[in-house]
Amino acid sequence: MQRRDFIGSGSALIALALMSNSASASAEPHSPVPTPRAIQPITLKNIVIGAGEPKIIVSTTASHSEAVKDFVQQQAKRPEPAVIELRLDQLDNSDDVAAMVQLTRELYAILPDKLLLVTFRTKAEGGNQAIDDQRYAALYHQLLTHGQMDLLDIEMYRGTPQVEQLIALAHQQGVHVILSSHDFQQTPSQAEIISRLRQQQAMGADILKIAAMPHDAGDVLRMMSATWEMAQRYAQRPLLTMSMGGMGALSRLAGELTGSALTFGMAGSASAPGQLDAGDLSATLAMLHSSLSSEKPA
């Protein structure tokens, strides 16, 4: 399929997603619709999250710190990614807290013009290692008080007291929080997707994230429709949503239309199923941005 044909078919699917939103409104009960509130963009290091093209995140996948540093040095020179995600759970020595703290400081120094996102993705939400809530909170506490980063991914279901304390500490340290939820088994209902995102916002997240696995095209459309509804009706913070796997690729491209402000690209190995090459992703996002901008009244 030619790129033009792909974008055309993508536009049709997006239209179907938004049409399904209208249908779901009658099928699923909603609380009274509040007055729409504009999403407040976040600006860090002159990078604006929540306006214009979705910003690209690329993740580290290496198991050794030296390989991670080499990768980040390479990505620091590339134009596509705005955010580099350090995946601590991929590292063989992730239980060495002092080493992880030092690694964040070294990577932060390498990235004066890009954002460093630090993440320990637990096995319960698709990551590489299992960790209990207490160890998770203790690791993040040390990273926040002794490491350096721009963004920290906190899983919303790690335990309410720990999560609330980590959000408060992150904000005290000047670190922005992505609260996240991942479902590798299914795609929740549209009402549930929106409920989780609204809960993240109420908990004080700076960026609201949900990722889910689709079983068919309808699941992808539902994620996109839920993102659009959240952005239009409830969101005050930037969104980061996606359908995973190859079937969900369209959701990674359509964020500027549906309301997702960030998207993951692949540089080397993928950190999650369905990621697209960062270079191809950047080119397609730019093309879609140009098309969408041409639709705006002069």
Q: How many angstroms separate the CA atoms of 79 and 238, rounded?
A: 22
271 is in an annotated binding site: yes
Tell me: is residue 121 an annotated ligand-binding position: yes
Is 105 labeled as ligand-binding?
no
DSSP state of 269: B
- The residues carrying an active-site annotation are 182, 209
| CA atoms of 127 and 143, how far apart (whole Å) | 19
Please state, in angstroms and rounded to a whole number, the distance separating the CA atoms of residues 122 and 130. 5
Backbone angles phi, psi at 29, to 5 degrees: -70, 140
In the chain, which residue ranges form alpha helices assigned H by DSSP?
Answer: 3-27, 65-76, 97-110, 133-146, 160-172, 190-202, 217-233, 249-253, 255-258, 278-294
Determine whether the annotation assigns residue 87 to a binding site.
Answer: yes
Strand order in the sheet with 276-277: 239-243, 207-212, 176-183, 151-155, 115-119, 81-87, 55-59, 262-266, 276-277
Q: How far apart are CA 237 and CA 202, in angstroms?
A: 10
290 assigned binding-site residue: no
Question: Any known ligand binding at 256?
Answer: no
The C-alpha R_g of the chain, in whole angstroms, comes to: 18
Binding positions are 59, 85-87, 121, 252, 271, 275
Binding residues for 3-dehydroquinate: 59, 85-87, 121, 252, 271, 275
